[in-house]
Structure 1
Amino acid sequence: MRKRRPPRVRAASSRQHGSGRTTEPTVPRGLPQRRIALGVLGLGVVTLAVVTALLWPAARRPPDEAATAPPPPEFVGHDACVPCHRTEAEAWKDSQHAHAMQPATPATVLGNFDDATVTYDGVTSTFFRRDDRFFVRTDGPDGALADFEVKYTFGVYPLQQYLVPFPDGRMQALSIAWDARPQQAGGGRWFHLYPDEHIDHRDPLHWTRLEQNWNYMCADCHSTNLRRNYDPVHDRYATTWSDLAVGCEACHGPGSNHVAWAEKRPGWEKLTGSEGLTIPLDERRGVRWTIMSTGNATRSRPLETHREVETCGVCHARRSPLGVDPNPTGRLLDTHDLALLEARLYHPDGQQLDEVYTYGSFLQSRMYAKGVTCSDCHDPHTQRLRAPGNAVCAQCHSPAMYETPAHLLHPAGSPGAQCAECHMPTRSYMVIDPRRDHSIRIPRPDLTVRHGVPNACGSCHADRDAGWAAAAIEKAYGPGRKGFQTFVDALHAGRIGEPGAREKLSALVRDAAAPGIARATAVAALEGFPGRTALDAIQLALGDRDTLVREAALGALLSASPPVRGRLAEPLADDPVKAVRVKAGRVLAGVPMDALSPERRARCERAVTEYVASQEALAERPEAHLDLGIVYADRGDATRAEAEYRAAIRLQPDFVPAYANLADLYRALGREADAASALADGLKAVPDDPSLVHALGLKRVREKRVADALPLLERAALARPENARFAYVHAVALESLGRRDEAIAALTRALERSPYDPDLLFGLSTFNREAGHLPEARDYARRLGTVAPDDERVLALLRELDGN
């Protein structure tokens, strides 16, 4: 099961900087009833237009077209494939896919259920059997010990988890798992997936809570044709599947037409072109890799589609669904939204950090750029490598050139001489599951020295520092060996907001040779660097051939003014890829459309409707309701915005962003008492949460009660020292109470953590100016000028100080 899929939360109109900080949530201004009425009327017009458009082609379709079109494919189950594909079925039956999920039986359960106990955070859980049924006595939703029956196993190696059904159709994954490794490797034991954390029944990561819910978090990648069938009215599931584990159709798509073609059923002639296959995974058919004089191989013909890699990526990627049907189509971004190289997920050079699986890493690799697909290295049915050890690499890389002491720098046959040890280092997830980084990069210890990222040399040579390793690499290969992934300087600059970050990010966006996922990450980061340079790069990216880049460019427009958003996002409202259309709908939601022609308005409204539908399809998730609330607030529909925020709170009572946005909504409506109640409710659910404490402090400031606000703002700033915005607001409150020296000291401390934050630099410059410390004021202003060179506020400050 996934360790956790962090909520994809965006506070309304939150302002993001290169340092990644976010201001307190605010609701877009202006919620007049007139706009609400127009919004509802517009939706009705769009609905009528869409229905008419769907019916019109049907009415005009030639009478024989239906007769020649194949029927919609349906799932037939794994057993229907076996008679014609016995070799593949035999290879598959011992794979991880075949054992992804199984009924809990004496044959499938690996864990010790003979009254075995394990104690975690003061709770002792007991695993026991009643005949051939398996149970656990552990802390339930209320924290009390109770007996729960285990109905299914989840996975098989190196760990096995267990699923417990609940009466409302939910199944939950226990956080205590079985270590299936041999005892000599440390296995044969029960262990907790969060050994260093305090997780009780109130924590979102508790096994009975939302983040350990099988139906949403895990099911679609461990079963075939998974349908969650969530009922938002009654908050229940009726989840179904056609194959319990990962069967043939999980990758090849529904097989009814293929069976009809194979058995020559009536109408099979319509299917001869594709053999009735939903996803033709034939991109390697007839392809050869020829090793050239360089020692590297070239594909006999260019790879023009990515059906195979994107089919695998549906489950081997950090992503979120865009609708209720998550099944593969061969086009990942038509069904899912892919996470980019975000700071919480990846190191700035693109190496895996959090649990991101392999797809996002592989997109960064030279191999992907050259046309390598998953099955070039892995047998898709056994899931084993096509050859052991270095031999799998030797398919494309000449051993005469690479299996040499000069290249390996380690004795032949030693661990250090294994290609994967240097080029695909591991990182362990779920405590005991080491996974190789599929960005397939050369070791760069010099980047460890400069940016603190990991390097493969340090995995084995723990007794030597990165400087030693960098010198060894340079001596062996020369100073010019930089590898394929050369975007670290730009992404690192963007994360910390250092001077020149905007220009580096913009250059990366324009670098067509860089991996698309890195370019997309760069254009997304430009949202935090307003100005002409960034906007030009964003506008260029909106027309990029790479879908990820176009989608990320739309996201970067969210902080732009509504007229700019509307002008630049409208052309992508009917993009051929769903992820782009959905993102365009989010961007266009807050754009006034009254002045648009009926055709243009209908196009924009279709995209907004598609975005709303994509969130409604995730109705069991609080962050989906949060996103809907923000959209309705953007559109002036305060009633629906309020309802969505409250729906998020009902699903997860400790979901802080919903309380903060609800309070801001009430404040925008002039309902100050309700805003206070929303914050109080949030602090009751999550006592001392820094974001809510900060929001309450801001409320006191707006009420002209700065002295009362100060302790709250200080608490928030101390609890989140990495949040420069909290520090800045706290310092402003100190200064307004005449405590300027303390304000300067607070900003100076915060600047040590966030040395390029424009608010901190601006505060230090102006506070020192008011204190008569002009040299210090000029110094901070000049530093600010390197961070925000186009900011008129900064230029005016510099002119004033230079005049003095």
Structure 2
Amino acid sequence: MRDIFPWTFAVLMIAIGPDSVIAQQIADHPAYIGSDACTDCHAEEAEAWAGSHHQLAWTAPDGDHILGDFSGDTAAPGELQSRFLTGPTGPAIETEGPDGQLATFAVAGVVGIAPLQQYLLETEPGRLQSSDLVWDVEGKRWYDLYPDQDLPAGDGLHWTGPYKNWNGRCAECHATGFEKNYDASTKTYASTQSEIGVGCEACHGPGAAHREWALANGSYDPAQWQHLSETGLTMDFNAGAEAEIQQCAGCHSRREAFAQGNPLPGTPFHDAYRLSPLRPGQYHADGQIRDEVYVYGSFLQSKMYANGVACTDCHNPHTAERVAEGNAVCTQCHSPTGNDRFPSLRPALYDDPSHHFHESGSEGAQCKSCHMIERVYMGIDGRRDHSFRVPRPDLTAETDAPNACNDCHQEKSATWAAKAIAQWYPDSPHRGPHFSQVIAPARQNPVGQIEGLIGIVEHEDLPGIVRASALDLLAEVATPEIAERMIPGLSDPDPLVRAAAIPLQRAAGQTDILSRIVDLLSDPVKSVRIAAAREFLALRVAHMPDSYTRALNSAMTEWQRALYSNADFPEIQMVLAGIGLTTRNMPAALEAFGEAVEMDPQLVQAWTMMVRIHAALGDREAALDTVNRAIAANPEDVSLGLMRADIKG
């Protein structure tokens, strides 16, 4: 045993340079060989993949891929009249640059094929930004993704800002073998990838060992590699539905990544990402999609997921299309014959007016219209909710969550829709209590819903993402008694629940929280280990056994790497600044807050904290200079003006 001062780990996390944590330590793996190397043996799959949304997720800016009109016409949207040109080096966009001046940027990459196409512009060597001016493929027009927002140069949400950066925000899901390679010391990118577009190896893993295995010439040595499938790949699609779903979820989810690029295919989701819970603004109180959350979070709520339905039951992964047209996707299982794979599903006639009460062939008779609400993102791109829920218009007034009935019947009330469904299904088992009746009011006042939230957490039949979201709300109002009652969550089978249960223990005393969470530093899932490591920042531990010290060191290092992997994100700089405050390392906190406002000058919270730190340190001049810079970036913010007046005295 030895003395442990955990705050020294936190100081180290901020103080050491990024060079110490650039590369995540992973086992050696085979080399990437490119999709072209796969076509001779996998001709049918390669033909299906060719021209798919996966292949064309990111392409070169040449005539074969660009669909937009670059003839020189002026774009209609916005006060700034951008132009789309074809210059000596190819297509280009003349628009407002990062300094607010009109400039011409060559198109450096093409994103997608339908229903819209975006274009990547290089604002400095290696830094790719996605333009807000995009091409409507069907409407054959240019349009602004954010027509109602005034986003001048210097705003964090300007197309040249950190939130529109391609290298950090988007590229890993549009490329194969991508590495961001952000250097925090120079604030530059040197990103690389095996190939642009979602190729074969993006899902199956690097193919060099698999090729050796397939050649069967004696060159393949399985002992050379660790954790490969029998055919020499890092991802084994024969491992079951859960492994497949987690592989797809890496890109089809709203999450925070732990590394600077693609994890090796086959890496469990929660070892590579932290999934967003059902947060306000992203999800409605009942779990329906609100913002763009990319499928996984909604699918986890479904009975289909709970019963082992996999992505490939409905989608062809090579064409990226559904396996059948219209209701035929659903009637693979939802039919009088049922499906032997899912014995709990009641065989019945679903694709019939006796079930959907709409004219056959009409929009209302489509399964997706009632069970997969559609929301439009990026102006024209409709995405479907994958929670496959039964419409609940009877809850709309109580929870403010939308319902599928009024999506179509907008002229009618939710009460009207609820009465219609009650007439169709007078004895429905789907109209009982719902977690949204607790989540909705708890979002406004969790104190008034403590017992209800605890009930959600303790209801083990509810989806893990729902229970974890209830724990998030409970953490805001936790008491020692609540923390003790939620101890079982720390050993829950679902890593989402375990990770969410950890912050709740802050309400316990130092001794209790240490004894309750120390074992989670060695949890088999990285997202849980990192959640446990975060809690040690505020703990003052005199002694720990060496085994726990090693576990703490390891978990802290994992968290450190995750933070520095996303050091180009303003929100991560805010986390680093918070670590500085917690550990009383004010220079580190000031540095991180400063990085955050340099990236996003509209982060008033960061400016405010910098001013307060300078004032607390007795540096009135620095405080005044900081608040003046904050007001220059945010001239309409009243709170900053009041703060300046207070400093001047």
With normalisation by structure 2, the TM-score equals 0.89
CA distance in 2, matches of 1:629, 1:432: 38
Q: Deviations over 1:142-198 (max 9, x none)?
A: 2221111112111110000011113331011110100011xxxxx111000012222
- Structure 1 pair 577–273 and aligned structure 2 pair: CA distance change class (3 A): closer
Quote the residue 1:245 is aligned against: 197
TM-superposed CA distance for 1:675, in Å, is 4.4
Match of 1:659 among 598, 607, 614: 607
Match of 1:506 among 446, 454, 457: 454
What is the identity, as a one-letter code, of the residue corresponding to 2:95? T
What is the identity, as a one-letter code, of the residue corresponding to 1:258? H
Matched, 1:258 2:258: no
Quote the residue 1:209 is aligned against: 161
TM-superposed CA distance for 1:560, in Å, is 5.9
- Structure 1 pair 656–38 and aligned structure 2 pair: CA distance change class (3 A): closer
TM-superposed CA distance for 1:268, in Å, is 3.3
The residue matched to 1:127 in structure 2 has which SS? Answer: strand
CA distance in 2, matches of 1:651, 1:472: 52
Quote the residue 1:280 is aligned against: 236
Q: Deviations over 1:359-416 (max 9, x none)?
A: 1010011100000011000011111111111111011111552123221111111111
- Structure 1 pair 654–449 and aligned structure 2 pair: CA distance change class (3 A): closer
CA distance in 1, matches of 2:315, 2:371: 17
Quote the residue 1:195 is aligned against: 147
Greater shift after overlay, 394-403 or 376-385?
394-403
TM-superposed CA distance for 1:669, in Å, is 4.6
Matched, 1:134 2:87: no
CA distance in 2, matches of 1:240, 1:556: 40
TM-superposed CA distance for 1:283, in Å, is 4.3
- Structure 1 pair 557–693 and aligned structure 2 pair: CA distance change class (3 A): farther
The residue matched to 1:624 in structure 2 has which SS? Answer: helix
Greater shift after overlay, 268-277 or 429-438?
268-277
CA distance in 1, matches of 2:408, 2:205: 43
Match of 1:592 among 526, 540, 564: 540
The residue matched to 1:122 in structure 2 has which SS? Answer: coil
Quote the residue 1:729 is aligned against: none
Alignment of 1:441-480 (within 5 A): 441-478=389-426, 480=428
Quote the residue 1:314 is aligned against: 250
The 8 Å contact of residues 479 and 508 in structure 2, kept in 1 or not, is answered as no
Quote the residue 1:116 is aligned against: 73
Quote the residue 2:299 is aligned against: 362
Match of 2:373 among 425, 428, 431: 425
- Structure 1 pair 417–218 and aligned structure 2 pair: CA distance change class (3 A): same
TM-superposed CA distance for 1:598, in Å, is 4.0
Quote the residue 1:158 is aligned against: 115
Bigger Rg, which one: 1
Matched, 1:548 2:496: yes
Matched, 1:438 2:413: no
The 8 Å contact of residues 398 and 437 in structure 2, kept in 1 or not, is answered as no
TM-superposed CA distance for 1:592, in Å, is 1.1
Quote the residue 1:802 is aligned against: none
- Structure 1 pair 498–130 and aligned structure 2 pair: CA distance change class (3 A): closer
The residue matched to 1:428 in structure 2 has which SS? Answer: strand
Q: Deviations over 1:609-654 (max 9, x none)?
A: 3222211111212222221222233223333233322232333333
Matched, 1:73 2:30: yes
CA distance in 1, matches of 2:325, 2:94: 43
The residue matched to 2:74 in structure 1 has which SS? Answer: strand
Q: Deviations over 1:270-317 (max 9, x none)?
A: 489621110101246xxxxxxxxxxxxxxxxxx5xx111111111110
What is the identity, as a one-letter code, of the residue corresponding to 2:8? G
The residue matched to 2:330 in structure 1 has which SS? Answer: helix
Quote the residue 2:524 is aligned against: 576
CA distance in 1, matches of 2:486, 2:622: 39
After superposition, the CA RMSD in angstroms is 2.8
What is the identity, as a one-letter code, of the residue corresponding to 2:558? E
CA distance in 2, matches of 1:344, 1:42: 33
- Structure 1 pair 695–309 and aligned structure 2 pair: CA distance change class (3 A): farther
Quote the residue 1:380 is aligned against: 317
Match of 1:650 among 561, 574, 598: 598
The residue matched to 2:417 in structure 1 has which SS? Answer: helix
What is the identity, as a one-letter code, of the residue corresponding to 2:32? F
The residue matched to 1:402 in structure 2 has which SS? Answer: coil
Quote the residue 1:289 is aligned against: none
The 8 Å contact of residues 506 and 533 in structure 1, kept in 2 or not, is answered as no
Quote the residue 1:725 is aligned against: none
What is the identity, as a one-letter code, of the residue corresponding to 1:431? G
What is the identity, as a one-letter code, of the residue corresponding to 2:329? V
The 8 Å contact of residues 310 and 332 in structure 1, kept in 2 or not, is answered as yes
Quote the residue 1:414 is aligned against: 362
TM-superposed CA distance for 1:494, in Å, is 1.6
CA distance in 1, matches of 2:178, 2:322: 28
- Structure 1 pair 279–35 and aligned structure 2 pair: CA distance change class (3 A): closer
- Structure 1 pair 43–121 and aligned structure 2 pair: CA distance change class (3 A): closer
CA distance in 2, matches of 1:421, 1:484: 22
Quote the residue 1:296 is aligned against: none
Q: Deviations over 1:336-361 (max 9, x none)?
A: 11111001200000001011110101
The 8 Å contact of residues 159 and 180 in structure 1, kept in 2 or not, is answered as yes
Quote the residue 1:397 is aligned against: 334
The 8 Å contact of residues 633 and 665 in structure 1, kept in 2 or not, is answered as no
The 8 Å contact of residues 6 and 537 in structure 2, kept in 1 or not, is answered as no
What is the identity, as a one-letter code, of the residue corresponding to 2:484? D
Quote the residue 1:326 is aligned against: 262
CA distance in 1, matches of 2:557, 2:100: 41
Match of 2:445 among 487, 497, 513: 497
The residue matched to 1:153 in structure 2 has which SS? Answer: strand
TM-superposed CA distance for 1:480, in Å, is 3.9
Alignment of 1:603-614 (within 5 A): 603-614=551-562
CA distance in 1, matches of 2:605, 2:510: 23
CA distance in 1, matches of 2:543, 2:640: 39
CA distance in 1, matches of 2:444, 2:147: 31
Match of 2:280 among 343, 348, 353: 343
- Structure 1 pair 610–558 and aligned structure 2 pair: CA distance change class (3 A): farther
Q: Deviations over 1:180-229 (max 9, x none)?
A: 11xxxxx1110000122222213222111111111111100111111111
TM-superposed CA distance for 1:107, in Å, is 1.6
Q: Deviations over 1:398-446 (max 9, x none)?
A: 1552123221111111111110111001000001001111111111111
What is the identity, as a one-letter code, of the residue corresponding to 1:332? F
- Structure 1 pair 572–484 and aligned structure 2 pair: CA distance change class (3 A): farther
- Structure 1 pair 130–283 and aligned structure 2 pair: CA distance change class (3 A): same
**Greater relative contact order, per chain length (Cα 8 Å cut-off, separation 6+):** 2
The 8 Å contact of residues 209 and 220 in structure 2, kept in 1 or not, is answered as no
Matched, 1:148 2:105: yes
Quote the residue 1:689 is aligned against: 637
Unaligned runs of 5+ in 2: 21-26, 337-347
With normalisation by structure 1, the TM-score equals 0.73
- Structure 1 pair 94–529 and aligned structure 2 pair: CA distance change class (3 A): same
The residue matched to 2:67 in structure 1 has which SS? Answer: coil
The residue matched to 1:149 in structure 2 has which SS? Answer: strand
Quote the residue 2:343 is aligned against: none
TM-superposed CA distance for 1:605, in Å, is 3.4
Matched, 1:170 2:127: yes
- Structure 1 pair 396–216 and aligned structure 2 pair: CA distance change class (3 A): same
Match of 1:226 among 175, 178, 185: 178
TM-superposed CA distance for 1:580, in Å, is 1.1
- Structure 1 pair 484–604 and aligned structure 2 pair: CA distance change class (3 A): farther
CA distance in 2, matches of 1:366, 1:176: 39
TM-superposed CA distance for 1:562, in Å, is 4.9
CA distance in 2, matches of 1:37, 1:435: 45
Matched, 1:631 2:606: no
The 8 Å contact of residues 150 and 162 in structure 1, kept in 2 or not, is answered as yes
The 8 Å contact of residues 365 and 484 in structure 1, kept in 2 or not, is answered as no
